[in-house]
Amino acid sequence: MTVTIAYLGPEGTYTQLAALAYSLNLEQHTSPPVNLVAFPSIPKAMQATADGMTTLTIVPVENSTEGGVTTTLDTLWQLQQLKIHHAVVMPIRHGLLSQATCLSVIETVFSHPQALSQCQRWLEHNLPQANLVATRSTTEALDHLTDNSTVAAISSEWAAQLYNLPILVHNINDHSDNCTKFWVLKDDNREADPVKGRYTSLAFSLPVNSPGALLKPLDVFARSGINLSRIESRPTKRSLGEYLFFVDLETDAYSQTGQQALNELLYCTESLVNFGTYDVVTADPSLAAAKAKTQSTQALP
């Protein structure tokens, strides 16, 4: 049976590279044919998997420079039915793509907000005159670059090849070890067996907004000897100052320790969602780009 993976398109995004790297990994282990399907936004890609249109979705979740991808966290909490199957960590190198022959003629730079932020210092120093325009992905505006030398986009070397665009400046990210973590998500209702792994991700809201309310769940992790590798808050969107907490734990939720901690958490949280237990794999973008030459991709509205 073919495995279909929804990703943030159009073609050439970093998420697609991560999806290609992940499908290489899948094919090495189980060898099902893999088909990638592009969606115009992260929520639409996630909804496709929740609706059963695709087997999996791959979404960016955290960047080493910029932190959490808030759309991903918010949509995961809203849908509540997607489980994390794997995490994929991939190095990200940005280039400035443009038909311009020098920086001084560039008036506008398009890119995904994460990419604009990851190159913020470079942009301030080298293109202080340019308008920075956020797009839904790093490749959304690439078609506009073909016949206009006053515009540029921040995207990957692979995207430059796909869209036949020159790279005016390579490696413009502010931090050379810039990496993004992606989650591979699967519909909870279609998951046959619980996935085992080294990490578990949860989100919870607190029953009362009072001193020490957050201390209780954190104390559960401390007493259980469970290390937190991330904690991030997002507004509940119910009232100002009320938060959801997303945590990544270095534990298997199905271990005895994990089960006991989850049980204890039920008593000191209001809503608690377990997004699943999974392992982390690393992705090589150059191997993924090489695979792209043989991979069939498909776009949906």
Ligand X SMILES: O=C(O)C(=O)Cc1ccccc1
Of 57, 98, 138, 297, the one binding ligand X (CB under 6 A) is 138
Exposed/middle/buried for 210, CB within 10 Å: 0-12, 13-18, 19+?
A: exposed
Cα separation, 229 vs 64, in Å, equals: 13
Buried-state track 233-270, b at ≥16 Cβ within 10 A, e below 16: eeebeeeeeeebbbbbbebbbeeeebeebbebbeebbe
Report which residue type is found at 231: I
CB of 296 to ligand X, least distance (A): 20
Neighbours of 51 (CB within 10 A): 9
CB within 8 Å of 15: residues ≥ 6 apart:
7, 8, 58, 59, 60, 137, 182
* 15 near ligand X (CB under 6 A): yes
Report, in Å, the least distance between residue 192 CB and ligand X: 29
CB of 236 to ligand X, least distance (A): 25
- 114 touches ligand X by CB under 6 A: yes
Closer CB to ligand X, residue 183 or residue 204? 183
C-alpha count within 13 angstroms, C-beta hemisphere, residue 75: 22
| 297 lines the binding site for ligand X (CB under 6 A) | no
User: Does 181 interact with ligand X (rule: CB under 6 A)?
Assistant: no
Measured CA distances, 252 to 38, 76, 197, 295 (Å): 32, 20, 6, 34
Tell whether residue 8 is a contact of ligand X (CB under 6 A): yes
Q: Which stretch binds ligand X (CB under 6 A): 13-21, 101-109, 167-175, 248-256?
A: 13-21
CB of 148 to ligand X, least distance (A): 20
- Out of 5, 92, 119, 253, which residue is the one contacting ligand X (CB under 6 A)? 92
β-pair type (272-282, 199-205): antiparallel
Stretch that binds ligand X, among 8-16, 43-51, 185-193, 204-212 (CB under 6 A): 8-16
Q: With CB under 6 A as the contact rule, which of the stretches 12-20, 185-193, 235-243, 292-300 interacts with ligand X? A: 12-20
- φ, ψ of residue 132 in degrees (nearest 5): -100, 120
Q: Residue 116 Cβ, how far from ligand X at the closest point, in Å?
A: 9
- Could you say which of 137, 200, 269, 277 contacts ligand X (CB under 6 A)? 137
Range in contact with ligand X (rule: CB under 6 A) among 11-19, 231-239, 258-266, 275-283: 11-19
Running DSSP on this structure, what letter comes out for residue 161? H
DSSP β-bridge partners for residue 234: 244
Residues that bind ligand X (CB under 6 A): 8, 13-15, 60, 92, 112, 114-115, 137-138, 180
